[in-house]
Amino acid sequence: MRNIKTYTDFIFEYYNPNFDTRSTPIEVNESNTILDIIKNNAPWYLENIKDITPIYRGVKRDNEQVAMTIEPALYTRHARNTENYYMSIIDESEYWKDYPKRSKSIICSLSKSKASRYGKVYRVIPLIENSRLAICPWDDVYYSFPVLFKNIEDITGIGIRTVALFNDWLAFGFGIEEDVTDSKIIANRVNSVIKDMMFMAANPDKYYKDYFNTEVQVLSEKILKGELQYTNFYSQLEEWMQPDSNGYKIINYNRDSTQLGKLNEVYTDANCLLVLEDELQLELSKQKV
């Protein structure tokens, strides 16, 4: 299976050396300070800035902007160095209907240190109070499907600990082509392979182990022996990926969001204001808010 070197490679989307294609820069000067910009764009946040749990995003660019607005839903994000199967599954799953679509969201962190790994740290401020915010159980989504990983290991013997390896397992085990972003295509392909396994289980004289790729051969043997049976394996994957059992939370981000955590990855599809954290802290030190 394909390995990727760092989580940065996996999550770092939309890079442009000059600007984020979803963002609009805001000029900051003596008559339009960062605090002025927050007051004009998200007054609810400024009123509670000392208490609310901050959200951060690291941004790497050559032309540094002090402040900008961003509309995450304008474009579809794509993870680098891995397929987007997992994202297509959760975005189109009924289990995730109350969550922002990850492919239409800005990915952030509750950890300033974590955000700094990806570039200059910006404070991320949803423009509208009570915008939806998804909270991952870990510091990144990369490891945040423990129920899925455990169940796949139980039925295949393959230790999968990241969504990149899960994507590879789908690609190589079920022959899903690269760049597939339609969950229906993924579902049809997965269920087609399982259907072949069920057919061979009913007709053992026609069973041929090497008909299946290595990643699913153990699964095929267990189905042949009658240890497992699936009528819709894709639905089973969806169930193993559902947010509640894997520890995800969905909240309305507002003035009462004061104890959300310290390290978790978070994401939102809300329009946001981004301001450089260092510059924000400099202004706060000069003024009473």
**Half-sphere CA count of 135, side-chain side, radius 13 A:** 19
Task: Report yes or no on 95 lying in a domain.
Answer: no
Task: Identify whether residues 174 and 263 lie together within a single domain.
Answer: no
Reported as a single tens digit per residue, the pLDDT across 134-188 is 999 999 899 999 999 999 999 999 999 999 999 999 999 999 998 899 999 999 9
Count the domains in the chain. 2
**Same structural domain for residues 150 and 136?**
no
> Does one domain contain both 219 and 178?
yes
**Same domain (yes/no): 22, 58:** yes
Percent of the chain past pLDDT 70, that is, above it, reads: 90
Q: Per residue in 177-213, pLDDT tens? A: 988 999 999 999 999 999 999 999 999 999 988 999 9
Does residue 2 sit within a domain?
Answer: no
Q: Please tell me whether residues 127 and 261 are part of one structural domain.
A: yes
Separation of alpha carbons 183 and 28, rounded Å:
43
CB atoms within 10 A of CB 261: 16
* Residue 279: Cβ within 10 Å count: 17
Those residues whose C-beta lies under 8 Å from the C-beta of residue 286, and which sit 6 or more positions away, are none
- Residue 57 belongs to a domain: yes
Helical axes 183-202 vs 233-240, angle rounded to 10°: 120
Task: Name 277's bridge partners.
Answer: none
Range(s) of the domain holding residue 280: 8-81+102-140+248-286
The answer as to whether 136 is a domain residue is: yes
Q: Are residues 166 and 135 in the same domain?
A: no
Quick check: pTM over 0.85? Answer: yes
Greater model confidence, 240 or 73: 240
Are 132 and 34 part of one and the same domain? yes
Task: Report if residue 271 sits inside a domain.
Answer: yes
Which residues, in sequence order, are bridge partners of residue 68? 25, 274
**Three-state DSSP class for residue 192:** helix
Say if residue 106 is in the same domain as residue 217: no
Same domain, yes or no, for 125 and 12? yes
Q: Are residues 152 and 136 in the same domain?
A: no
Looking at the structure, do residues 130 and 178 belong to the same domain, yes or no? no
DSSP one-letter code for 40: H
Radius of gyration of the chain (CA): 22
Residues 104-126: tens digit of each pLDDT: 999 999 999 999 999 999 999 99
Helices 34-41 and 277-286 pack at an angle, to 10 degrees, of 100
Same domain, yes or no, for 133 and 169? no
- Closest to 26 measured CA to CA, from 116, 127, 108: 127
**184 domain residue, yes or no:** yes
Q: Is the dihedral of CA 74, 80, 85, 90 positive or negative?
A: negative
